[in-house]
Structures are given as C-alpha cells and as structure tokens.
Amino acid sequence: MKGPIQNALRLFTRVMRPLAMRSAGKEGSGTSVVRHVGRRSGRSYETPVVAVQHDDSFLIALPYGERTDWLKNVLDKGSAIILTDGHAYEVDRPEVVPIAEATTYFRAKEQRMQRQFHVESALRVRQQLDARR
C-alpha cells in the first residue's frame, strides 16, 4: 500500500495506538503485541499488531509494507516476543512472505481488510525451539 491511503491509515493508527495497547495481547483480544528491541537505540518497544498462530508460527500482515521500524528491528535482531491471548511467546527466524502464503489463516474480516488495503506481505516468525519444551 502506498500514497494517501497509507498516510491516512498511518495517522489513524498513531491516534488509535494507545487505545489498542490497553487490551492488546490480553486474553480475548483480537490484537497482539510485538515486543522488540531497537536496532540502534537498544530500547525495548511494544507494537500492537494482528497476529495469527499457525502450528509453531505466527503470521502478521504488513499493511505498511516492509518499511516499518518494528519490522526492521525484528528482522535485524532475529527475535522478538509475541504477546497474544494472555500468553507470551519467544519467537525467532523472522521472514517476510507473500500475503498469499498467510492470508487463509486470518479471519474473514482481516482478509477483506488485506484486500482492501492491497497488503502484499506478511511476517512469519516461529516459536523458539528451546521455548517450546
């Protein structure tokens, strides 16, 4: 997604972020949280996202494409923590995949939004092997 629609969505997201963070990651919430470390600052950050779990993976649609800082941070570090439905999962092995590989795992409402906003890619992360024992 590019241009004025992306800019409008970015502004909307910036305004709604504090509200989303109130429930994100908690049991029953449709929104998850990615905890990641800044690649330059070393600071910890939390970003609300829509993450779906599939087998040992989580898939996160990328409506802003691959230019977001949180995505760059996760790719650079190679790991993050996903908070979803009241649980924390350590994840690694991040890879950007075409949305066609991920979309069927999202709810119908989210699939419609992905089509409407021309989402092209998703992030796939996997639960850390040693964290699943």
Q: Which domains does the chain show, CATH number per domain? A: 4-132 (2.30.110.10)
Say how many CA atoms lie within 13 Å of 88 toward its Cβ. Answer: 6
Distance CA 33, CA 20 (A): 10
**Span 33-56, pLDDT tens digits:** 999 999 999 999 999 999 999 999
pTM, entire model:
0.82
Looking at residue 4, its pLDDT comes to 72
Range of weakest confidence among 1-5, 74-78, 127-131: 1-5
What average pLDDT does range 115-123 have in this prediction?
Answer: 93
Per-residue pLDDT band at 26 (split at 50, 70, 90): confident
Residue 25 pLDDT: 83
The per-residue pLDDT for 133 is 47
